[in-house]
Chains A and B, each alone.
Chain A
């Protein structure tokens, strides 16, 4: 295998992994942008979305693999997204909103509590054994110029690109998207414009949770579905959001993709043992926090009084 094709192989693997991190990181960063708080239950919302997707897919897929299984896969993905969106909004209402005027530590602890409640409930209701989500298509890799690409990777890239472009268009162009940005820049002034802050917060949780569910369902094909699946992935996506600049949507996308590339190339080129792969993210986090604490695209923010 030539070194060029090897490079592109790692690039492809890194981009798909990074795309997943980016999708999850968006939820952390959007919520932080508006509420200045880290939703530590985000990874568990991803897990619940994956389960709902899995159940839906198994219920409607039928016997034969074909076009219908692919359609069923997307229907299941949307079901998981919708369920997670509603779950995210409910969690905000029940566990975070009543604490909005409390100290900043209170909602954070509440989020950690919600995280445990979700993963334990999932373990109790659906068991701790991981469940296999079957590929809706033949996942035999094909080779382009010496680079082996799986249909699964294509699926991830296409979905991630569609999600990111639509989110960016929504936030930049739409009336509600602009109101989201205004609310994240200055909540009181946004209210003066007639913007309902609670509604914007709910929409933010819905979108972030749906994106996490999508990411969870996409990786479930490879890593299976289990109650603690959101833990490490969620944590690393959080690192990606911080590295990119927490609160910044483009930063979350950049941070996610960078982290995916870093992990892939770190193992492949720098000879970091595969078992140490998960530490790469946290070493990157420490380095970024030391050199540029506000993150790559973040802005230095004055602490609000």
Chain B
């Protein structure tokens, strides 16, 4: 399998606080990989760095061999450059919208639905880069089939949806662009166990039947490890363990620290 996402010794800081320290990892084409860790370990920061919402202090991130984020921070430079066309050259970091254009979709933490817009309009936004109206309509129907609850609520404002429904909508919105790489930030957060199980089923189906590479970040280690083939464990901004998910599920330290056993 070839590497779709490669993270090469990246560092990310918030002011003086180092959020990510020398993080390296990769996600293979077609794989489903998870990153587990406690709240505040730096998991969301890693996802934000991948989509260009956090600048790197050191290191590189590549998609399919092409560098999408590096330390020459053209995308977030504080220098005043007027009329600059950023992200055109090969060595500079791409903007978030450009990374989206390469087929990377993030389902952000806390879902971040466009609450004042209807379900249908949210899906339209997910397909912003798809210019073909017929294809958009077809994708929307696919989503309504895949998540029937969304089909029955398509004209409703998203704020009126329950947490689980909003999570499904956020996933459907990300799928509208037919991404190559789907990033999920805590898809189970704050949801009832039955709904979490349902969402993880859907994620597996997306991976297996739609052939979308999945990288998911979770505090719910058991669900995440069961759903994935490979797992990474993050503590205080560092990757401390990496192995096949089934091995991590059996690992003494993981069981004690993350599975409550």
Contacts and interface: CB of A to CB of B under 8 A. Distances in A.
Contacts of B129: 193-194
A59 B15 CA distance: 58
A168 interface: no
A182 B125 CA distance: 8
Contact of B97 (A175, A185, A186, A197): A197
Interface string B47-74: 0000101000000000000000000000
A182 B115 CA distance: 9
Contacts of A5: none
Nearest to A189: B112
Interface residues of B, number: 27
B96 interface: yes
A92 B140 CA distance: 36
A186 B112 contact: yes
Nearest to B173: A193
A220 interface: no
Contact of B114 (A97, A185, A194): A185
Given A194-B97, A194-B101, A178 B121 contact: yes
Nearest to A101: B78
A195 B125 contact: yes
B175 interface: no
A179 interface: yes
A191 interface: yes
B121 to A, nearest CB: 6
A189 B173 CA distance: 11
A98 B51 CA distance: 22
Given A98-B80, A181-B114, A186-B112, A193 B125 contact: yes
Contacts of A132: none
A190 interface: yes
A193 B106 CA distance: 9
A195 B130 CA distance: 11
Contacts of A188: 53, 96, 108, 112
B32 to A, nearest CB: 20
A94 interface: yes
28 contacts: A93-B82, A93-B83, A94-B82, A97-B82, A98-B80, A98-B82, A101-B78, A175-B128, A178-B125, A179-B128, A181-B114, A181-B117, A181-B121, A185-B115, A185-B117, A188-B53, A188-B108, A189-B112, A191-B95, A191-B97, A193-B100, A193-B129, A193-B177, A194-B101, A194-B177, A195-B97, A195-B125, A196-B97
The 4 closest A-B pairs by CB, nearest first: A194-B100, A191-B96, A194-B129, A98-B80
Interface of B: 51, 53, 78, 80, 82-83, 95-97, 100-101, 105-106, 108, 112, 114-117, 121, 124-126, 128-129, 173, 177
Interface of A: 93-94, 97-98, 101, 175, 178-179, 181-182, 185-186, 188-197
